[in-house]
Amino acid sequence: MHVLVTGGAGYIGSHTVLQLLEEGHEVSIVDNFSNSSPESIRRVNSLAGRSAHLRSVDLLNQQELTKIFADTQPDAVIHFAGLKAVGESVSEPLKYYRNNVTGTLNLLDAMEAVDCRTLVFSSSATVYGESTALPLIESTPRNATNPYGRTKLHIEEMLEELAASDPRWSIANLRYFNPVGAHTSGLIGEDPQGTPNNLMPYVAQVAIGRREKVHVFGGDYPTADGTGVRDYIHVLDLAAGHLAALKYLRESAGAHTWNLGTGTGSSVLEVIEAFARVSGKEVPYKIVERRSGDVAENYANAEKARLELGWKAEHGLEQMVEDMWRWQKGNPTGFGPIDAFGMTDEELDIFLNR
């Protein structure tokens, strides 16, 4: 298949692009590099031994997007592009609705124009909001509690309505739990800009000595050790879930929703301990106030994906931490600044099809 991947230079996108290339698919990436670097794709190409086509375009640029679809005529789209910082979405909600919702609308229009109606969408367990009925199953009522989560909820609803209106659409809403880890080569991984919002990259930066200590948000939750519990899932398992969903969509029309999680929760202290054990480094931490908006515990029921997609997470917490640590040690400052690629401006323009 020819798969167009929006946000393919980002964390989950780059790991998925690698698996698509390894499976023999043709891949075109559309990314505006607002939260990523083309260096990730240079490394993906070298790992795969073949190249994805990379286009530097913003989904908000409808004209350019339409042109790319006309040029590439993809068979299917995997849609990762989006902004994802919960706190920023509270202070800048319109930026999130514009980028995530309008960006998706533009994408759907561009797809329709070339009769491409197979779409895998990056949704999130955040659409379950503060639900306390664990484990979370796909039929749990949706109730997002912040603008970021509501962009995901609105897009899910929009995609369901679209599929109901026209049986030619095949759509997957994949609800990710907490993606962590990195490719086993240590060459690609998560490269958060500034202070990481999420636990694992923060812990990794403490272990490597870039930050002093982990702030554990709340020690008085009704969990075994009092700290928050989440369903961490290895990014390689997550990427494999996208390929499984694509395969399913080739034979099934309509909108489908799957949780992608392991079904097992780990606490903040368990994550810190695993990191200290694997890295052999001290990971100092301090228990502070709860973070507003956090739930005590959240983990998936991933049976639907197992039964329908034949997909199941294979990696445990130890493996996630080992791979994350290899990436962190080998790339202490992530992919580095754009001018550090060893490419001239001219070479970069050619690489990005500018």
Residues with active-site annotation: 148
The option from ligand NAD, ligand UFG, none interacting with 224 (CB < 5 to 8 A, set by class) reads none
142 lies in the binding site for ligand UFG (CB under 6 A) = no
The option from ligand NAD, ligand UFG, none interacting with 74 (CB < 5 to 8 A, set by class) reads none
301 lies in the binding site for ligand NAD (CB under 6 A) = no
* Helix or strand run (H / E) with residue 179: strand 178-180
Q: Which long-range CB contacts under 8 A does 47-52 form with residues at least 24 apart?
A: 47/18, 47/183, 47/185, 47/187, 47/188, 48/18, 48/21, 48/22, 50/21, 51/21, 52/5, 52/8, 52/17, 52/20, 52/21, 52/27, 52/28
Contact by Cβ (8 Å): 133, 140:
yes
Among 25, 42, 84, 142, interactor with ligand UFG by CB under 6 A:
84
The option from ligand NAD, ligand UFG, none interacting with 68 (CB < 5 to 8 A, set by class) reads none
Contact by Cβ (8 Å): 128, 142:
yes
Q: Residue 171, CB half-sphere, CA atoms under 13 Å: how many?
A: 26
12 lies in the binding site for ligand NAD (CB under 6 A) = yes
Size of site (CB under 6 A) for ligand NAD: 27
| Whole-angstrom distance, CA of residue 264 vs CA of residue 257 | 20
* Nearer residue to ligand UFG within complex by CB, 10 or 74: 10
* Nearer residue to ligand UFG within complex by CB, 250 or 286: 286
Q: Which residue stretch of 4-12, 155-163, 261-269, 293-301 sits at the interface with ligand NAD (rule: CB under 6 A)?
A: 4-12
DSSP one-letter string for 75-115: SEEEE------HHHHHH-HHHHIIIIIIHHHHHHHHHHHTT
234 lies in the binding site for ligand UFG (CB under 6 A) = no
Among 98, 247, 281, 291, interactor with ligand UFG by CB under 6 A:
291
Size of site (CB under 6 A) for ligand UFG: 21
| Whole-angstrom distance, CA of residue 58 vs CA of residue 215 | 35
* Nearer residue to ligand NAD within complex by CB, 282 or 349: 349
| Whole-angstrom distance, CA of residue 283 vs CA of residue 274 | 10
Q: Residue 185, CB half-sphere, CA atoms under 13 Å: how many?
A: 11
| Whole-angstrom distance, CA of residue 317 vs CA of residue 152 | 27
353 lies in the binding site for ligand UFG (CB under 6 A) = no
84 lies in the binding site for ligand NAD (CB under 6 A) = yes
Work out the end-to-end distance of the chain between its first and last CA atoms, rounded to an integer number of angstroms: 25
The option from ligand UFG, ligand NAD, none interacting with 36 (CB < 5 to 8 A, set by class) reads ligand NAD
Q: Which residue stretch of 81-89, 134-142, 217-225, 335-343 sits at the interface with ligand NAD (rule: CB under 6 A)?
A: 81-89
* Nearer residue to ligand UFG within complex by CB, 169 or 176: 176
188 lies in the binding site for ligand NAD (CB under 6 A) = no
Among 108, 119, 199, 245, interactor with ligand UFG by CB under 6 A:
199
The option from ligand NAD, ligand UFG, none interacting with 10 (CB < 5 to 8 A, set by class) reads ligand NAD
| Whole-angstrom distance, CA of residue 212 vs CA of residue 15 | 29
| Whole-angstrom distance, CA of residue 323 vs CA of residue 181 | 5
Numbers of helices and strands, H then E, in the chain? 13, 14
The torsion angle over the Cα atoms of residues 116, 120, 122 and 127, rounded to 10 degrees, is: 110
315 lies in the binding site for ligand UFG (CB under 6 A) = no
Q: Which residues bind ligand NAD (CB under 6 A)?
A: 7, 9-13, 30-36, 58-60, 80-84, 99, 103, 122, 124, 176, 179
Q: Which residues bind ligand UFG (CB under 6 A)?
A: 84, 86, 124-126, 177-178, 197-199, 202, 214-217, 228, 230, 268, 291, 294, 298
